[in-house]
Structure 1
Amino acid sequence: MTDFSTTEAVTWSGGTGQMLAVNDVNTATKMWIQIKTGVAPTDNQTITGATSGASALMNVTITERTLSFPFIGASTGSAIISAYGVGIETDDLTASDKLTDLTNTLRVPPNNVTFTVSGLVSGEDRVLVAPLGREFAWDTEGGTPPFQRGENLSFTSPTGTAYLSFLRDDGTTGRMQIRMLTGTVPTDNSTITGGTSGATAIVNGAVVASEDPRQLKLLTSLIGAAETAVVCVDAMPTDTPTTGTIRIQLDTGIYRNVAYTSYNTGTKTFTIGSTSFIDPNDATGGAAEAGNSIFIAYIDKLAAATSEAFTGVYLADRSLFIRVRDGASTPIKTFETTGTLGSAGGSATAIRTSDA
């Protein structure tokens, strides 16, 4: 069987046309053409490629689409509303544009947004951008302890709720890292109640910004000498960069920095280069809250320029934690701040307070 040539002229009894697209040049079952002369082909008519000589039979009735003048479609002044079947290079699209594909389905481009950290010294500054958490000490434990990592907490004075991402339990005192869910960030002397455990305590001292170490949870244990996949309990957030770095909690409690080359939200899997997780560098997985913690390090590197950035697809505002450290020839006090990746991106600038 002769193959069609992409976008060749085609003929049939009663007309000629220009092929605009075909779903398969080898075994075509769908073809898109523009009629140049005559009338549209009908069921069981033979369509022949003028260049290739390939042929196919029409099956059922042709579907006609109205041409647009101008061919591109319409413009609102700030966005393109494309005509049927018009394609535009992704770099030239914005999230406000609308395209109609060859199945007559409306397609809206993703809103790719960028967060930038500036004010850096290349080759000296270590930069971390992570999901935002909150960290504090606690004491006066009561109720039905202990607290349980992964449970929801409620606070009073001020009122709020949070997910317990990290717990250090020293008996009746300890430290917590939380991810705020609702309400206001707790303050010194706020009361804490565990939603699952029933444990109670009081915040002891300042509540400071930190990374949220349990953004994701490890499902499948990492124990081999050549692991290439990190499988999570939950799917990655939409704004996860296409490539980047994750930090994985090892069984020793240390968080290991691991680069990923891609991820699949369907299988909830990060693809990584072959990496050894043999004990003591192993990490335990498990369903629900049993697995070790993982968080996406949106930026996690030694600065290679005066600014560093990451890009993700915007779905909703993401609160971020930013840390910049420099202990090299021009040392600074550790700089920490918060930021937001919004619908137009976001930014933060390091304040360089000398620590010489």
Structure 2
Amino acid sequence: MRELDDALDRLDHAARTSDAPLDDVRARVLAAAAAEQAPARSRRIARRLLPLAAAAAAVLVVGVVVTRPEDAPRQEPVAREQVRPGTTSPPPKVSLLSAKEVLDDAADAIDPVDPVLSPGQYRYIAEHAWYSRGHLIGVGQDDPDQTIRGWTYLKETSREVWIPQDQSQDWLERRGWLPGVEWLGGSVPRSEAPEPRAMDTDTGERRGKCGNFFPNSQGAASCGDPTSWDNPEFYTGLPRDPEAIVAYLRSATAQRGSAPATMFHWGVEILRAGLMPADLRAGWYRALATLDGVRVYDEAATLDGRTGIAIGIEDERQRRDLIVDPATGDFIGERSVAGTRPDEGWIEPGTVTGFSSITTKVVDGIGLTG
């Protein structure tokens, strides 16, 4: 994903070298990069992480279902040895299956009939995430050769959303700042690196018609907005044919060069929203499988107790995986792993730098989870 990282560096160099936290910075850069191509989609990324008004105060993202134990959730490589967030995973064995075979099988296994919401029912989306949050101390213009300093933690968070059958009614969102925190490293000892603190937008419960949870900072949301990833109507306008989906991903990432790693990253972000219907998800898997460099990296990746196969694209900076259950076609979640030359020099190559799992279901009332 070198092209994406280079693009991020060029697009937001000032933010990357400032004395500010990074995860929202990275989210805002992704949003800004796509602004000319798809301005409404950029709003979706900002809404998912933090409202624009909080951007200057916030954080370093890497990676996005729910349920948080006191101990960090674990990821299980092929050898069945549990790996904690932030640790370096032993290399998985080489799969006998190609990424295309895995994703094609997953597409074939998807139940083509999605649950239908009745009046009074809600679509429930829960995400449990470990994000990289940290602090970079920028390099001054008078000393550009100075080594960037700072530190990075992994922080456990949650987000739950209830979407009504009638989308013009109130939606509900809950965000949680969970107990888990892991030290990834830094240019200073951990004892000198303050742990990340929750901002106002990291916690709390909010309601808003059409999912308009932050009207003061983001403007009014349009009900049934066909250009917002957080709206079910967005998915009705996307193509179902794999070749057409590839063309869409290429167009959506044109402002950032449309490299395969960039297209794959964008495709995973849309899956991560948790709203993709079954018929589209089948073609989506088949489309991602055709991108150059996609391969199987882990045959037994576990997120929140669910095990699937991790498929991704890597470069020297980072690897982005999507994790799928080939038996059911379920999208379990995604993760990010540091490459051979991570952006932050204190992070060891192969370190899990973020992951999330996604759960979706239909519930009979707002605020219910089952």
- Shorter-normalised TM-score: what interval? under 0.3
Point out the structure with the larger strand share. Answer: 1
Q: TM-score, normalised by structure 1?
A: 0.21
Q: Which has the higher contact order (CA 8 A, sep 6+)?
A: 2
Higher helix proportion, which one? 2
- How high is the TM-score relative to the length of structure 2? 0.20
Tell which structure's C-alpha radius of gyration is larger.
1
